[in-house]
């Protein structure tokens, strides 16, 4: 959500920031909606004051046996009562119209975010790791995986497209990756959580996924939503709270299944594990004071990068341009892992600083030390990492000519000592 006072006082700056994301100006429309709402409220207050005054004058007129004046005042009070009902409804609908319009708007990009409308405007920040060299033509994971236990056909029979059934060593590696990643983040100071996978409307609204992205989610028959990431549950764990400065930063992590409809992705990544309706992910969420959010963003990036480095997976770090960021983000770094089978880098983690955008939607504040007033917190979230895509990266980077896949050294203890997955 956005601060309506800021929009009223800085309409040109607000529209200019939206233009960086390729959006049309809306400040005038929002200011007009706010003006109508405020006009109704002001008239309502004036009418209520006059009604109170007239009610007192009725008593005085009756005491003086001035029936004509008393009757005129009674008629005025009755008319004011009707008008107040109308004004209250105007104010209510005005509030709702303004809130609905603001709810659809994305966060504004930070000043140091590069301009651009799509991924072509993203900027490479750094690279890590040497690309693997093969004395054979490397294959994609969808071609290697079936012999190792990735069963796409059985999954399709059970659930349809974009699901995978795993068996044996590859299923164990899938589990091992989640445990390894979660342990690593707990060691880095993130508090492990076990969260609900089903949430209410207000939780999905709080992180910015509703109302605009309902089609990207799965909804149950009782109206709840399957989480697309544990960011939803973790971030909303502080909704409608006033935190103390001493409680911040709050650093949380969870390993959960994630569910996405992949609306609009027909024809994209239909083979393999890259784009699934159901997958697992270790998520990081931080609730921080505004002056510390930039530092926490760097900390979170380092936590995600450490997983890729521990697994020996080459990657590059990208700063997303204004037009390629998500709805709630003001600044995002993507980590893209090298996939030799595709001969390209693919996104494996997205780490975002959302500023106070989500906090306003959740009404989450904190009281700075020594201050009577409160301020909105800043929220951050990031993948550390998506399990399926990490599995893809290991299969492709550690593949051998005979179709076997070496197990990264860091995972061997989690694999019961297994060092190679064989067909």
Question: What pLDDT score does 265 carry?
Answer: 67
Name the DSSP class of 373: S
275 is an active site residue: yes
Catalytic residue among 20, 162, 172, 260: 260
pLDDT score at 50: 85
Residue 83: pLDDT above 90? no
The pLDDT, as a whole number, for residue 9 is 95
Give pLDDT tens digits for 25-69: 999 999 999 999 999 989 888 888 888 887 888 878 788 877 787
Residue 350 annotated in active site? yes
User: What is the mean pLDDT of the segment spanning 206-226?
Assistant: 95
Token pair in block for residue 219 = 């909804």
Q: How large is the average pLDDT for residues 252-274?
A: 85
pLDDT attached to residue 112: 97
Task: Give the tokens for residue 57.
Answer: 């004058």
- For residue 183, the surrounding DSSP H or E stretch is helix 168-187
- Residue 262 scores a pLDDT above 90: no
Catalytic residue selected from 336, 350, 361, 396: 350
> Is 92 an active-site residue?
no
DSSP 216: G
Do strands 375-376 and 420-421 pair parallel, antiparallel, or not at all (unpaired)? Answer: unpaired
Task: State yes or no: pLDDT of 178 exceeds 80.
Answer: yes
Structure tokens at 169: 């060593």
What is the band of 266 on the pLDDT scale with cuts at 50, 70, 90? low
389 is catalytic: yes
What pLDDT score does 242 carry?
98
List, in sequence order, every residue forming a beta bridge with 421; answer none if it has no partner. Answer: 405
Instruction: Give me the mean pLDDT over the 231-235 stretch.
Output: 98
Has this prediction a pTM greater than 0.85?
A: yes
Q: Please state the length of the chain.
A: 423
To the question of whether residue 262 is assigned a binding role by annotation, the answer is yes
pLDDT value of position 267: 66
CB 304 within 8 A of CB 98: no
Mean pLDDT over 404-415 rounds to 98
Q: pLDDT (tens digit, 9 = 90+) per residue, 135-177?
A: 999 999 999 999 999 999 999 999 999 999 999 999 999 999 9
| pLDDT given at position 69 | 79
The annotation status of 230 as a binding-site residue, yes or no, is yes
Selecting among 36, 347, 404, 406, the annotated active-site residue is 347
Tokens 């990756």 belong to residue: 177
The answer on whether 347 is annotated among ligand-binding residues is yes
What does the pLDDT average to over 279-285? 98
261 annotated binding-site participant: yes
Mean of per-residue pLDDT scores for the chain: 94
DSSP string covering 101-164: HHHTSPPPPPTTSPP-SSGGG-EEEEEESPPP--SS----HHHHHHHHTEEHHHHHHHH-SS--
Res 264: pLDDT = 66
Spell out the alpha helix ranges (H) of 65-135. Answer: 67-103
Region 369-381 average pLDDT: 95
What end-to-end distance do the CA atoms of the chain give, in Å? 51
User: Reduced to 3 states, what is the DSSP secondary structure of residue 132?
Assistant: coil
pLDDT at 416: 96
Higher local confidence (pLDDT), 74 or 278: 278
The whole-angstrom separation of Cα 2 and Cα 23 is 16
Active site residue 86: no
CA geometry: angle 279, 285, 286, nearest 5 deg: 175
């Amino acid at each position: 959500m956005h601060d309506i006072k800021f929009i009223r006082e800085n309409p040109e700056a607000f529209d200019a920031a939206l233009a960086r994301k390729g959006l049309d100006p809306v400040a005038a429309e929002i200011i007009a909606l706010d003006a109508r709402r405020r006009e109704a409220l002001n008239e309502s207050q004036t009418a209520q004051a006059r009604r109170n005054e007239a009610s007192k004058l009725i008593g005085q007129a009756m005491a003086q046996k001035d029936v004509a004046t008393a009757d005129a005042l009674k008629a005025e009070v009755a008319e004011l009562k009707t008008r107040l009902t109308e004004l209250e409804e105007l104010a209510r609908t005005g509030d709702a119209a303004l809130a609905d319009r603001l709810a659809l708007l994305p966060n504004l990009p930070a000043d140091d975010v590069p301009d651009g409308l799509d991924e072509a405007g993203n900027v490479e920040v750094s690279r890590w790791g040497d690309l693997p060299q093969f004395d054979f033509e490397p294959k994609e994971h969808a071609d290697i995986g079936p012999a190792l236990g990735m069963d796409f056909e059985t999954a399709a029979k059970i659930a349809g497209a974009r699901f995978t059934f795993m068996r044996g060593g590859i299923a164990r590696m899938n589990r091992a990756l989640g445990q390894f990643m979660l342990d690593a983040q707990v060691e880095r100071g993130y508090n492990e959580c076990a969260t609900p996978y089903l949430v209410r409307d207000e939780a999905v609204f709080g992180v910015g996924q509703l109302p605009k992205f309902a089609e990207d989610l799965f909804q149950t028959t009782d109206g709840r939503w399957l989480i697309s990431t544990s960011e939803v549950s973790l971030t909303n764990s502080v909704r409608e709270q006033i935190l103390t400065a001493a409680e911040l930063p709050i650093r949380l992590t969870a390993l959960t299944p994630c569910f996405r409809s992949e609306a609009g992705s027909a024809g994209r990544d239909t083979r393999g594990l890259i784009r699934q309706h159901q997958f697992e992910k270790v998520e990081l969420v931080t609730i921080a004071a505004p002056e510390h959010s930039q530092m926490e963003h760097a900390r979170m990036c380092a936590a995600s990068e450490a997983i890729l480095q521990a697994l020996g997976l080459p990657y590059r770090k990208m700063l997303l341009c204004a037009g390629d960021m998500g709805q709630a983000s003001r600044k995002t770094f993507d980590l893209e892992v090298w996939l030799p089978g595709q001969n390209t880098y693919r996104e494996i983690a997205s780490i975002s600083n959302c500023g106070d955008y989500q906090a306003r939607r959740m009404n989450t504040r904190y009281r700075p030390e020594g201050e009577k007033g409160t301020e909105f917190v800043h929220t951050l979230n990031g993948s550390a990492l998506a399990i399926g895509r990490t599995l893809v990266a290991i299969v492709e980077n550690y593949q051998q000519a005979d179709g076997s896949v070496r197990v990264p050294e860091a995972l061997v203890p989690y694999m019961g000592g297994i060092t190679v997955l064989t067909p």
